[in-house]
Amino acid sequence: MKNGELVLLVSKDRSYLIKLKKGKLHTENGIFDLDKILRKKFGDEVQTHLKKKFKLVKPTIIDVLKRGTKRLPQIITPKDAALILAYTGISQGNFVVDVGTGSGFLAIFLANYIKPGRVVTYDNDKKMVKVAKGNVELSGLSKFIKIKNKDATKGVSERNVDLVTVDIQHPEKVVKHAYSSLKAGGYLVIYSPTIDEVMAVTKEIRKLDFSYINTVENIVREWQTERTTRPKTMGLMHTGFITFARKIE
């Protein structure tokens, strides 16, 4: 292990995402000696001073997003971000413009899948940009993500883009700029919390030469399997509507 490396300490009932450094880590499960962990490798077992056992695991991008990053606004959840991958088929080496950086969750998620491709993400809120930069740095994907503190409703300068994602208020104001930015065959994906916004977005999309326009809602229902098997009473149901459109010419 090396100083500054992200590590997931995991047991059957608890986990900690940490950036390694010398010293001690105090937790409710006891104290970790980080100097000893620096001499370990992924897959090794470590113990707290209370003899609580943990495994050293290399964190996934979901571990980083869920446990390590700072959130400000509502984020596009992993279930919806994964749907964007599934419906557009973007892959390694692609070029993405992400409008509405927020905390940087979607930019980080996408960059992890398309590297060595890159993501350019826009946000006109300096506070959001500051938080997003910290999250991007933590993710280790800084060289694949460029953050612009600019208002994308006034224009998007990138061209020959494979995918443009939009998650801002009044996303319909970005549609014409997204069209100019996309290559032939590229996708526009707009995340909308309300059906009123979907209607406004779809109206703008239909003014341009987009095809395969489709709006979906992604509902995930978890099941409990302890004692009885049934759907959980509470779940992550509606998060937003996702509108897809493809530029053909």
**pLDDT digit string (tens) for 138-191?**
999 999 999 999 999 999 999 999 999 999 999 999 999 999 999 999 999 999
1 occurs within a structural domain: no
126 occurs within a structural domain: yes
Same domain, 223 and 109: yes
The count of domains in the chain is 2
Question: pLDDT value at position 235?
Answer: 67
Contacts (Cβ under 8 Å, ≥6 apart) of 209: 179, 247, 248, 249
- Nearest of 105, 17, 1, 113 to residue 63 by alpha carbon: 17
Alpha-carbon distance of 175 to 153, in angstroms, equals 9
CA distances from 132 to 92, 100, 137, 188 (A): 22, 11, 9, 22
Cis peptide before 78 (omega within 30 of 0): no
The CATH number linked to 220 is 3.40.50.150
Alpha-carbon distance of 119 to 188, in angstroms, equals 14
- Nearest of 100, 119, 123 to residue 109 by alpha carbon: 119
Same domain, 91 and 178: yes
Same domain, 28 and 127: no
Alpha-carbon distance of 244 to 64, in angstroms, equals 27
CB atoms within 10 A of CB 19: 11
Same domain, 72 and 101: yes
State which residues form the domain around 228: 63-247
Strand partners, 57: 8
**pLDDT digit string (tens) for 17-26?**
999 999 999 9
CA distances from 239 to 65, 75, 147, 218 (A): 17, 9, 25, 8
Alpha-carbon distance of 34 to 3, in angstroms, equals 10
* Residue 84 and residue 242 in contact, taking contact as beta carbons nearer than 8 Å: yes
94 occurs within a structural domain: yes
109 occurs within a structural domain: yes
In this structure, the strands spanning 118-122 and 145-148 are parallel
**pLDDT digit string (tens) for 20-73?**
999 999 999 999 999 999 999 999 999 999 999 999 999 999 999 988 888 876
What ranges in 148-208 are assigned the alpha helix state H?
175-181, 195-207
pTM of the model: 0.90
On average, the pLDDT of the chain sits at 94
